[in-house]
Amino acid sequence: MTIENQAEAVRPLTEFVEDERLFRDSVYEFADKEIRPLVHDMDEHAKIPHALIEKLFDLGVMGIEIPESYGGAGASFFHAVLAVEALSQVDPSIGVLVDVQNTLVINALLRWGNDDIKKRFLPRLATKTVGAYALSEAGSGSDAFALATRATEAGDGFRLTGRKLWITNGNEADVFIVFANLNPEAGYRGITAFLVERGFPGFTVGKKEDKLGIRASSTCELILEDCQVPRANVLGEVGKGYKVAIETLNEGRIGIGAQMIGLAQGALDHTIKYTKERKQFGKAIADFQGVQFQIARAAAELEAARLTVYNAARLRDAGLPFLTQAAMCKILSSEVAERVSSLAINLYGGYGFVKDYPVEKLYRDAKIGQIYEGTSNLQLQTIAKQLLG
């Protein structure tokens, strides 16, 4: 079954924004109908069909916080979190596509873009253009500000030279937020954020990584060889790219938390259904207390992680401090996702270990949650610093 054969129009989510539960349920209904039939093939071929991306735009989840005046849904950050959670319940690869679009790219433009940048980019990001966020490099992962990509003044613009690695949405994106150092002698205070478009001279998308999990989500190398960027495409102020990066990533961690709780819920849903069907010793394994207790504990841990994600998102929308809560929600949700998906495989037995059944994919997908948007050790360091001053 291909998405091209599903002709029914997608209902935009703007009509559901007032009711958060209905909003989330509507995104899940879309994912269950439009994405679930494609999950195995997308994972197998490591590719998201363009037709599915078009439907995500039609649904409205690619521009959730973009004001309606720019063609977006005009909703909140919390709505973006709910959408990522619901999509990830079916396929975390689609969840992270939407997450990067909303919590990193659009979030950065809303906060740091001037009126000209907003007018030029937000309508496109709301309706047809995928964005990507290019910070990481070979020697700049957890030490994000050790980046080696350089920018130099060049007439009425800049020239960027360097390589970016591990860039989510690299294959699908047409707009990239690229961080480069314009003044290395100033250290991290020389870092500047640039909006680079596919097709700019000197810019190419390089190798696509062959990954363990979230395989449909593209993770690519970006190559900049004297890439020409106009001065009007500086995001924020020159030399303030480190602030763009830090503040955006704090919110992005909440988005990854949403991806992980969605993944865990999907694994738990599969497990509950299967334990009612699988028979051992003459009865369904769901009738055994040992199985019941494992499922109950998984559900309790998942609910606790979900509440930390929701709390961090609510604090962000309220304009209150949320740095510690974002770190907490990411570390807890990623650990819960790994435990629940592992339990799913255990209770599926041998079937859990083969690709014909859905839970082995979710187990593979879960691992990345403890790595990207800041490793678990970095989250612990952030929490400790906040608590201990």
Catalytic residue numbers, as ranges? 373
Cα 207 vs. chain centroid, distance in angstroms? 20
Q: How far apart are CA 131 and CA 121, in angstroms?
A: 10
Tokens read off for 159 = 């020239």
Separation between Cα atoms, residue 284 and residue 170, nearest integer Å:
45
Which amino acid does the sequence have at 39? V
**Alpha carbon distance 156, 168 (integer Å):** 30
Distance CA(203)–CA(196), nearest Å, equals: 8
Beta bridge partners of 132: 176
| Long-range CB contacts (within 8 A, 24+) of 382-388 | 382/323, 382/324, 382/327, 383/324, 383/327, 383/328, 383/331, 386/323, 386/324, 386/327, 387/324
Q: Whole-angstrom Cα distance, residue 259 to residue 166?
A: 18
- For the beta carbon of residue 215, count every other beta carbon within 10 angstroms: 20
Q: Nearest Cα to 151, choosing from 186, 116, 198, 121? A: 186
Residue given tokens 């363990």 in the structure block? 212
Distance CA 321, CA 325 (A): 8
Task: Residue 330: count other Cβ atoms within 10 Å of its Cβ.
Answer: 34
Inter-residue contact 225 to 263 (CB < 8 Å): no
- Residues sharing a CB contact under 8 Å with residue 7, sequence separation 6 or more, in sequence order: none
**φ, ψ of residue 123 in degrees (nearest 5):** -60, -35
What span, in angstroms and rounded, lies between the C-alpha atoms of 236 and 234? 6
CB 385 within 8 A of CB 379: no
Q: Output the six-digit token pair for 105.
A: 């790219």
Structure tokens at 341: 């998906």
Cα separation, 226 vs 159, whole angstroms: 5
Token digits of residue 108: 């950065």
